[in-house]
Structure 1
Amino acid sequence: MGKSTTARMFADKGVAVWDADAAVHRLYDKGGAAVRAIAELRPAAVVGGSVSRAELRAWIAEDDGALQAIEAVVHPLVQQDRVAFADKAEADILLFDIPLLFETGAEREMDLTVTVSCSPEEQRRRVLERGTMDEAAFDRIVAAQMPDAEKRARADRVIETETLEQAEAQVEAIVAEIRERNDA
């Protein structure tokens, strides 16, 4: 959808950005807070002292309860990481880049929610162009996610990312709106 690019646009405007995906990577890395708990759930999922995403995917594919077990460990740790970021951040605006914002109920903790969106065709093109997954994997992920139309309906603001210029203008407007509101 252009989420990472849009988050960088916010950062370029002086907004402090916390990335949930990056937090999970830190938690899964060697010495990360999730490693021991994941090892207790599924020893084969820890390889060389860090959590193997490939092993997690394999486990999820074979066990219907695996994803829920993993989320029960990881979501509270991600929440702790987010709170620690917010406590330390010094910027006037904080952005929390959370792919599963609505699915996890985290929108209740936000002052304003923004979703980035583009056409399904553009989304497919961008993801497949990266070369990190095939069409079948892409289709599985999209099918498991909340539909874009529902995210758009639930968000306070929607940033259309069909073009960089379009997204940049919308980011600029949102930052200006928040700063104006904060100054009032």
Structure 2
Amino acid sequence: MTRPLIIGLTGSIGMGKSTVADMFERAGVPVFDADAEVRRMQGPGGELLSAIEAAFPGSTGPDGVKREALGAIVFSDKDKLKQLEAIVHPAVASKRMEFMIEHGGAPMVVFDIPLLFEGGGQSQVDTVVVVSAPPEVQRKRVLARHGMTEEKFADILNLQMPDSEKRDLADHVIDTGTTLAETESAVRALVEKLKKIREASS
């Protein structure tokens, strides 16, 4: 295998995926965060602003995309959502390609993709890591977020594949219902395991 092993990292809201992504980075594995790229490209001076404004007038301003205004336009209209995705997805794919070129010599890389299974992204990675925690831990974390309500939480869960199904589809599961030290130890053990698998197949 001449290119890096591609790890797809995913998990439902409140499961600790961002924390685990940071742990992969601390273990020396480069991480591509698709959501962070989108936020940057839609932020102040972002390269997607002109295309989004042209398609959805009034949805951007000096601070970038007006998330609530754009959300109100696209989330109730599937055609408009597809129109937005046609602007965003190719740009993210381009950034991902740049990332792969930059880190082409690394043994492995992580693609941090929140809706990996929901979007069929598992076909684009070599192995899938699902971040999971008990439902009560997830609930406590999410409801502690600013502006979160029971209703919003329920709506988000309805859009996401159930955690149990993600675990069944995963190649590896990282449990974040334990201490941070235990979770980080599990991540580092997985990195070493995957390195050995990659070495054996190359």
Q: Same fold (TM over 0.5)?
A: yes
Q: Is the contact made by 1:59 and 1:66 (CA closer than 8 Å) also made in structure 2?
A: yes
2:18 alignment partner AA: S
Which structure 2 residue ranges, 5 or more long, are not aligned? 1-14
The match for 2:94 among 73, 80, 85 is 80
How far did 1:171 drift? 0.7
Structure number with the higher helix fraction is 1
Q: Give CA deviations for 1:135-179 in whole Å, capped at 9, x if unaligned.
A: 221211111112212211222111111022342232122101111
Mean CA deviation greater in 123-132 or 63-72: 63-72
Over aligned residue pairs, what C-alpha RMSD do you find? 1.8
Q: Give CA deviations for 1:60-80 in whole Å, capped at 9, x if unaligned.
A: 354343333222221221111
Sequence identity percentage: 44
Q: Is the contact made by 2:74 and 2:81 (CA closer than 8 Å) also made in structure 1?
A: yes
Q: Matched residues in 1 for 2:164 and 2:81: separation? A: 25
Q: Is the contact made by 1:17 and 1:94 (CA closer than 8 Å) also made in structure 2?
A: yes
Give the equivalent residue in structure 1 for 2:7.
none
> How does 1:112-123 map onto structure 2 within 5 Å?
112-123=127-138
1:136 alignment partner AA: E
How far did 1:102 drift? 1.4
Q: Is the contact made by 2:37 and 2:92 (CA closer than 8 Å) also made in structure 1?
A: yes
Q: Is the contact made by 2:74 and 2:84 (CA closer than 8 Å) also made in structure 1?
A: no
* Secondary structure in 2 matching 1:18: strand
Q: TM-score if structure 1 supplies the norm length?
A: 0.90
| Residue 57 (str. 1) matches residue 71 (str. 2) | yes
Q: Give CA deviations for 1:2-35 in whole Å, capped at 9, x if unaligned.
A: 0011011111110101111101111102332321
2:185 alignment partner AA: A
Give the equivalent residue in structure 2 for 1:103.
118
Give the equivalent residue in structure 1 for 2:197.
181
Give the equivalent residue in structure 1 for 2:21.
7
Q: Matched residues in 1 for 2:118 and 2:76: separation? A: 23
> How does 1:1-184 map onto structure 2 within 5 Å?
1-48=15-62, 50-89=64-103, 90-163=105-178, 164-184=180-200
Give the equivalent residue in structure 1 for 2:11.
none
Q: Matched residues in 1 for 2:132 and 2:145: separation? A: 18
1:10 alignment partner AA: F
Mean CA deviation greater in 171-180 or 129-138: 129-138
Q: Is the contact made by 1:116 and 1:158 (CA closer than 8 Å) also made in structure 2?
A: yes
Q: TM-score if structure 2 supplies the norm length?
A: 0.83
* Secondary structure in 1 matching 2:101: helix
